[in-house]
């Protein structure tokens, strides 16, 4: 980007060249004879016009760069002003925390750039540049995040002093470079979607041509098409390799997201509002199902017996499992501290400490099986509350960044699946 100093130096260089050019012209005019003066006047005139044109071009480039820089600065000012206000434009006390404001900004930016991703095609340069530029702004706080670790230092007299030295946060240092790499891989994969064997047509055009659209298809969504004989062997192989790569990216982004969410604490106000008994959170049927499971391998059959009719039912079961696991862990934590009766004391008199550990293990295994079967479910109640009430800015940035990358990878996999459906 061109700064004010850069523009000033550009202007000065343009003026210096003009002065040098004029000085050379005056010297040639006084030093030659009449015949050479005529030829010199012609060459001087051509040289002057050429130099003037170069000066004008450089001036226009400087002005254009300065305008772009000013525009970027104004956008950045607006972004960070909204972050500091907590998205409360009145400037009152109703603004969000910095962590939530950053999380919402990353989510909104991804929605405006990627949207639903109805087509597999390269992103326009304008969108890619905006994504990279504004994500750098939103990720910039991580450059200054450190944690203090104890260290030893020797003074002039040889005595050992204990001091605290700053060190980069481990979670940021490990996860952020990985997320940046996943981000670039997804963009590069979409950039490679050129000269493909498939193309898209609007659903309305297909409806006019064929007279109808398949049941369940939205007519306004672009529909993929392949040649009459289907995709070539090379195209199918390329699409398969891309599917494998995007699937690995999706799993990596979801893994980072789940790890960050597990590390984020449950807000105290939410924990106090949850049922104090795991059995009350699960309900009698689900509780008996977990209690009577003989081995971890039986969870697959137990998952089938739950017979989820929709993703909403699966999400509701996950919410109940997470609430029960939290209640049981709180009981374990409080009983290990003191045998005295607390607000998290046993509500189920038949349950002992070892049985709680057994139930936690079974519930966590079942929870993971449900997540594997429904990989792109909406966020659970506890996850939403962690994000909404979270104060840790690093957690908020890493969670939002990994979530939007996971959603983008899942949308790409869905669009590849649409192509495979028509390639028969």
The number of angstroms, rounded, from the C-alpha of 29 to the middle of its chain's C-alpha atoms is 66
Last residue of a domain, one of 192, 224, 252: 252
Whether 227 and 205 have beta carbons less than 8 Å apart is answered as no
Q: Are 105 and 212 in the same domain?
A: yes
3-state helix, strand, coil in the chain (%, to 5): 70, 5, 25
Contacts 24+ apart (CB under 8 A), 275-279: 275/323, 275/327, 276/327, 276/330, 276/343, 276/344, 276/347, 277/327, 277/347, 277/348, 278/323, 278/324, 278/325, 278/327, 278/328, 278/348, 278/356, 278/359, 278/363, 279/324, 279/347, 279/348
User: What CATH code is carried by the domain that includes residue 340?
Assistant: 1.20.58.1310
User: What CATH code is carried by the domain that includes residue 125?
Assistant: 1.20.58.2010
Place of tokens 């050479």: 36
**φ, ψ dihedrals at 338, nearest 5°:** -155, 140
Q: Where do the H-state alpha helices sit in 307-392?
A: 311-337, 353-373, 381-389
Residue positions counted in the chain: 424
Report pLDDT for 37: 47
Report pLDDT for 108: 93
Give the angle 37-41-45 at the CA atoms, nearest 5°. Answer: 165
Q: Are 248 and 104 in the same domain?
A: yes
Q: Are 187 and 315 in the same domain?
A: no
Cα torsion angle, 128, 253, 115, 389, sign: negative
Report pLDDT for 385: 95
What's the token pair of residue 106?
């990353």
Report pLDDT for 15: 46
On whether residue 64 sits in a domain, the answer given is: yes
On whether residue 407 sits in a domain, the answer given is: no
Report pLDDT for 299: 64
Q: Are 114 and 247 in the same domain?
A: yes
On whether residue 93 sits in a domain, the answer given is: no
Q: Are 12 and 44 in the same domain?
A: yes
- Return d(Cα 139, Cα 132) in angstroms, integer: 10
Report pLDDT for 297: 55
- Return d(Cα 417, Cα 178) in angstroms, integer: 26
Q: Are 290 and 236 in the same domain?
A: no
Cα torsion angle, 147, 151, 155, 160, sign: positive
On whether residue 343 sits in a domain, the answer given is: yes
Q: Are 188 and 279 in the same domain?
A: no
Q: Are 182 and 272 in the same domain?
A: no
Closest listed residue to residue 407, CA positions, set 253, 218, 302, 284: 253
Q: Are 145 and 222 in the same domain?
A: yes
- Return d(Cα 338, Cα 110) in angstroms, integer: 48
Q: Are 111 and 248 in the same domain?
A: yes
Return per-residue pLDDT of the chain as tens, 424 residues. Answer: 444 344 344 434 444 544 444 444 444 444 444 444 445 554 555 454 555 656 666 777 676 666 666 777 787 777 777 777 777 777 777 778 889 999 999 999 999 999 888 899 999 999 999 999 999 999 999 999 988 888 888 888 888 888 888 888 899 999 999 999 999 999 999 999 888 888 888 755 555 455 444 544 566 788 888 888 888 888 999 999 999 999 999 999 999 999 999 999 999 899 888 888 888 999 888 888 888 765 555 666 777 778 788 889 999 999 999 999 999 998 888 776 555 454 554 444 445 777 888 889 888 988 988 988 888 889 999 999 999 999 999 999 999 999 999 999 999 999 999 898 888 7
On whether residue 374 sits in a domain, the answer given is: yes
Number of domains in the chain: 3
Q: Are 167 and 218 in the same domain?
A: yes
On whether residue 424 sits in a domain, the answer given is: no
Domain that holds residue 61: 4-85
On whether residue 419 sits in a domain, the answer given is: no
On whether residue 189 sits in a domain, the answer given is: yes
Last residue of a domain, one of 51, 85, 119: 85
Last residue of a domain, one of 54, 85, 116: 85
Q: Are 69 and 169 in the same domain?
A: no
């Amino acid at each position: 980007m061109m700064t004010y100093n850069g523009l000033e130096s550009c202007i000065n260089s343009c003026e210096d060249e003009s002065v040098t050019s004029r000085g050379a012209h005056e010297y040639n005019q006084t030093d030659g004879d009449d015949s050479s003066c005529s030829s010199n006047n012609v060459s001087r005139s051509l040289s002057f016009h050429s130099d003037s044109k170069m000066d004008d071009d450089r001036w226009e480039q400087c002005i254009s760069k300065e305008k772009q820089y000013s525009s970027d600065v104004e956008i950045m000012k607006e972004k960070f002003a909204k972050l500091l206000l907590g998205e409360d434009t009145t400037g009152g006390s109703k603004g969000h925390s910095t962590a939530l404001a950053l999380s919402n900004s990353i989510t909104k930016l991804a929605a405006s750039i990627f949207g639903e991703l109805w087509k597999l095609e390269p992103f326009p340069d304008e969108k890619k540049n905006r994504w990279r530029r504004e994500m750098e702004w939103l990720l910039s706080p991580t450059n200054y995040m450190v944690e203090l670790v104890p260290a030893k230092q020797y003074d002039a007299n040889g005595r050992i002093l204990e001091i605290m030295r700053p060190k980069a946060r481990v979670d940021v240092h490990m996860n952020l470079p990985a997320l940046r790499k996943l981000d670039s891989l997804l963009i590069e994969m979409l950039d490679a979607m050129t000269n493909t064997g498939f193309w898209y047509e609007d659903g309305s055009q297909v409806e006019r041509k064929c007279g109808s659209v398949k049941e369940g298809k939205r007519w306004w969504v672009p529909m993929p098409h392949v040649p009459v004989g289907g995709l070539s062997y090379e195209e199918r192989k390329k699409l398969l390799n891309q599917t494998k790569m995007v699937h690995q990216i999706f799993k990596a982004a979801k893994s980072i997201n789940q790890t960050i969410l597990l590390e984020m604490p449950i807000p105290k106000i939410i924990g106090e509002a949850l049922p104090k008994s795991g059995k009350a959170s699960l309900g009698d049927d689900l509780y008996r199902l977990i209690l009577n499971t003989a081995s971890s391998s039986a969870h697959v059959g137990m998952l089938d017996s739950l017979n989820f009719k929709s993703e909403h039912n699966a999400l509701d079961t996950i919410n109940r499992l997470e609430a029960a696991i939290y209640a049981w862990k709180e009981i374990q934590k409080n009983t290990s501290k003191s045998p005295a009766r607390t607000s998290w004391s046993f509500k189920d008199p038949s349950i002992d400490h070892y049985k709680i550990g057994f139930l936690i293990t079974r519930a966590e295994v079942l929870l993971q099986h449900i997540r594997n079967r429904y990989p792109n479910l909406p966020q659970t109640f506890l996850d939403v509350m962690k994000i909404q009430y979270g104060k840790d800015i690093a957690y908020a940035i890493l969670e939002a960044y990994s979530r939007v990358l996971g959603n983008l990878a899942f949308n790409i996999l869905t669009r590849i699946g649409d192509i495979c459906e028509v390639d028969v």
